[in-house]
Amino acid sequence: QVQLVESGGGVVQPGGSLRLSCAASGFTFSSYGMHWVRQAPGKGLEWVAFIRYDGSNKYYADSVKGRFTISRDNSKNTLYLQMNSLRAEDTAVYYCAKESPVTTVFDYWGQGTLVTVSS
């Protein structure tokens, strides 16, 4: 069965950095695009970033462009999100999500990891 397990969340000061990881299992990780999606406390969902199955293309939301970097290691079945220059408004639960084999929607999600940006 598909499993996505995020880790790396925590409390960080404004301007700081954090790297999130998403360990994937139960499917051929190297065949699927992957996403990061976040949800601020009590708010809706916001797409953050996407990486193609082979890492050849990456896309970012305007709100994180230039500060966040998505990457993957297909040999380790792991997705990453490097977050730099963090702001209070980046406080959220961060989910990784797998691309559907049928179309570019998100068919499996992890349980999320909480990032809190606060002094």
Partner 1 sequence: DIQMTQSPSTLSASVGDRVTITCRASQSISSWLAWYQQKPGKAPKLLIYKASSLESGVPSRFSGSGSGTEFTLTISSLQPDDFATYYCQQYNSLWTFGQGTKVEIK
Question: Interface residues with partner 1 (CB under 8 A)?
Answer: 35, 44-47, 50, 59, 61-62, 95, 100, 102-107, 109-112
Least distance in Å: CB of 80 to partner 1?
19
Nearer to partner 1 among residue 12 and residue 96 (C-beta): 96
Quick one: 8 or 112, whose CB is closer to partner 1?
112
Contact 71, 88 (CB under 8 A): no
Cα–Cα nearest to 110, from 8, 32, 12, 22: 22
Return the number of the residue (42 or 75) whose C-beta is nearest partner 1: 42
Q: Are 80 and 19 in contact (CB under 8 A)?
A: yes
Amino acid letter at 87?
Answer: R
